[in-house]
Amino acid sequence: MRDALGSVQSVLVLGATSDIAAATVRALVGRRARRVLLAARNPDQALALAEELRVLGADADVIAFDARATAAHEELARAAFDRLGDIDVVLVAFGTLGADVGLASDPAAIAAVLETNFVGAASAIVPIARRMVDQGHGTIVVLSSVAGERARKSNFVYGASKAGLDAFSQGLGDALAATGVTVTVVRPGFVHTKMTAGLRPAPLSTTPEAVAAAIVDGLARRSEIVWTPRLLRVVMSLLRHLPRALFRRLPV
Ligand X SMILES: NC(=O)c1ccc[n+]([C@@H]2O[C@H](COP(=O)([O-])OP(=O)(O)OC[C@H]3O[C@@H](n4cnc5c(N)ncnc54)[C@H](OP(=O)(O)O)[C@@H]3O)[C@@H](O)[C@H]2O)c1
Is 130 a binding residue for ligand X by CB under 6 A? The answer is: no
- What is d(CA 186, CA 142) in angstroms, rounded to the nearest whole number? 6
x-or-dash string of contact with another protein, 119-158, rule CB under 8 A: --------------xxxxx---------------------
Binding-site partner at residue 178 among another protein, ligand X, none, CB < 5 to 8 Å by type = another protein
Among candidates 191, 203, 199, which has minimal Cα distance to 236?
A: 203
Span interacting with ligand X, options 132-140, 169-177, 185-193, 242-250, rule CB under 6 A: 185-193
Cα dist from 14 to 64, 138, 152, 154, 244, whole Å: 10, 15, 26, 27, 35
Question: Catalytic one among 65, 158, 168, 227?
Answer: 158
Among the listed residues 20, 33, 140, 216, the single contact to ligand X using CB under 6 A: 20
In this structure, which amino acid lies at residue 251? P
Q: By 3-state DSSP, what share of the chain in percent is helix, strand and coil, each rounded to 5?
A: 50, 15, 35
Contact by Cβ (8 Å): 226, 186: yes
Work out whether the CA dihedral 145, 232, 205, 219 comes out positive or negative: negative
Is 168 a binding residue for ligand X by CB under 6 A? The answer is: no
Query: Between residues 138 and 189, which has the closer beta carbon with respect to another protein?
Result: 138
* Shortest separation between residue 178's beta carbon and ligand X, angstroms: 28
Which residues from 43-62 bind ligand X, rule CB under 6 A? 45
Helices (H) and strands (E) in the chain, counts: 9, 7
Burial class (CB in 10 A: 0-12, 13-18, 19+), 167: middle
Among the listed residues 24, 145, 169, 182, the single contact to ligand X using CB under 6 A: 145
Is 19 a binding residue for ligand X by CB under 6 A? The answer is: yes
158 catalytic per annotation: yes
Q: Give the residue numbers annotated as catalytic, written as ranges.
A: 158
Residues forming contacts to another protein in the complex (CB under 8 A) are 1-7, 9, 31-32, 85-86, 133-137, 178-180, 216-217, 220-222
